[in-house]
Amino acid sequence: MSIDQELDASGLNCPLPILQAKKQLAKMEGGQTLRIIATDPGSVKDFDSFAKQTGHELLENGEEGGKFTFLIKKKG
Protein backbone atom coordinates (compact mmCIF):
# COMPACT_ATOMS: atom_id res chain seq x y z
CA MET A 1 0.00 0.00 0.00
CA SER A 2 1.37 3.39 -0.92
CA ILE A 3 1.55 6.28 1.51
CA ASP A 4 1.10 9.69 -0.07
CA GLN A 5 1.84 11.89 2.96
CA GLU A 6 3.20 11.41 6.46
CA LEU A 7 2.49 13.46 9.57
CA ASP A 8 4.58 13.17 12.72
CA ALA A 9 2.44 14.33 15.63
CA SER A 10 4.78 12.86 18.27
CA GLY A 11 4.73 14.77 21.53
CA LEU A 12 1.40 16.45 20.80
CA ASN A 13 -1.57 15.86 23.08
CA CYS A 14 -5.26 15.69 22.21
CA PRO A 15 -6.71 17.34 20.19
CA LEU A 16 -3.60 18.50 18.32
CA PRO A 17 -2.88 15.23 16.42
CA ILE A 18 -6.45 15.26 15.06
CA LEU A 19 -6.27 18.95 14.14
CA GLN A 20 -2.94 18.49 12.37
CA ALA A 21 -4.30 15.47 10.47
CA LYS A 22 -7.43 17.37 9.48
CA LYS A 23 -5.28 20.22 8.13
CA GLN A 24 -3.05 17.81 6.19
CA LEU A 25 -6.00 15.89 4.74
CA ALA A 26 -7.55 19.15 3.50
CA LYS A 27 -4.51 19.63 1.25
CA MET A 28 -4.73 16.11 -0.18
CA GLU A 29 -6.83 14.63 -2.98
CA GLY A 30 -9.54 12.03 -2.50
CA GLY A 31 -8.19 8.48 -2.37
CA GLN A 32 -4.76 9.52 -1.12
CA THR A 33 -3.42 8.05 2.11
CA LEU A 34 -1.97 9.81 5.15
CA ARG A 35 0.20 8.04 7.69
CA ILE A 36 0.14 9.62 11.15
CA ILE A 37 2.56 8.96 14.01
CA ALA A 38 1.40 9.99 17.48
CA THR A 39 2.50 9.38 21.06
CA ASP A 40 -0.74 10.29 22.85
CA PRO A 41 -2.52 7.05 23.90
CA GLY A 42 -5.85 8.86 23.56
CA SER A 43 -5.23 9.23 19.84
CA VAL A 44 -6.30 5.61 19.26
CA LYS A 45 -9.89 6.37 20.22
CA ASP A 46 -9.69 9.86 18.71
CA PHE A 47 -8.69 8.71 15.22
CA ASP A 48 -11.33 5.98 15.22
CA SER A 49 -14.01 8.58 16.02
CA PHE A 50 -12.49 11.09 13.57
CA ALA A 51 -12.71 8.60 10.70
CA LYS A 52 -16.34 7.72 11.50
CA GLN A 53 -17.38 11.37 11.77
CA THR A 54 -15.60 12.61 8.63
CA GLY A 55 -16.11 9.65 6.29
CA HIS A 56 -12.38 9.10 5.81
CA GLU A 57 -11.32 5.46 6.01
CA LEU A 58 -9.07 4.29 8.84
CA LEU A 59 -7.19 1.58 6.97
CA GLU A 60 -5.00 0.47 9.85
CA ASN A 61 -3.63 1.43 13.21
CA GLY A 62 -0.91 -0.02 15.39
CA GLU A 63 1.42 0.61 18.28
CA GLU A 64 5.12 -0.02 18.61
CA GLY A 65 7.45 1.26 21.29
CA GLY A 66 5.03 3.86 22.60
CA LYS A 67 4.30 5.27 19.15
CA PHE A 68 0.89 4.89 17.58
CA THR A 69 0.51 4.81 13.81
CA PHE A 70 -2.60 5.37 11.75
CA LEU A 71 -3.20 5.06 8.04
CA ILE A 72 -6.14 7.11 6.80
CA LYS A 73 -7.50 7.17 3.27
CA LYS A 74 -9.12 10.47 2.35
CA LYS A 75 -12.69 10.09 1.21
CA GLY A 76 -12.97 10.41 -2.51
For strand 5-9 and strand 67-73, is the pairing parallel, antiparallel, or unpaired? Answer: unpaired
- List, by residue number, the catalytic residues: 14
Q: How many CB atoms lie within 10 A of CB 73?
A: 19
CA distance 9 to 53: 20
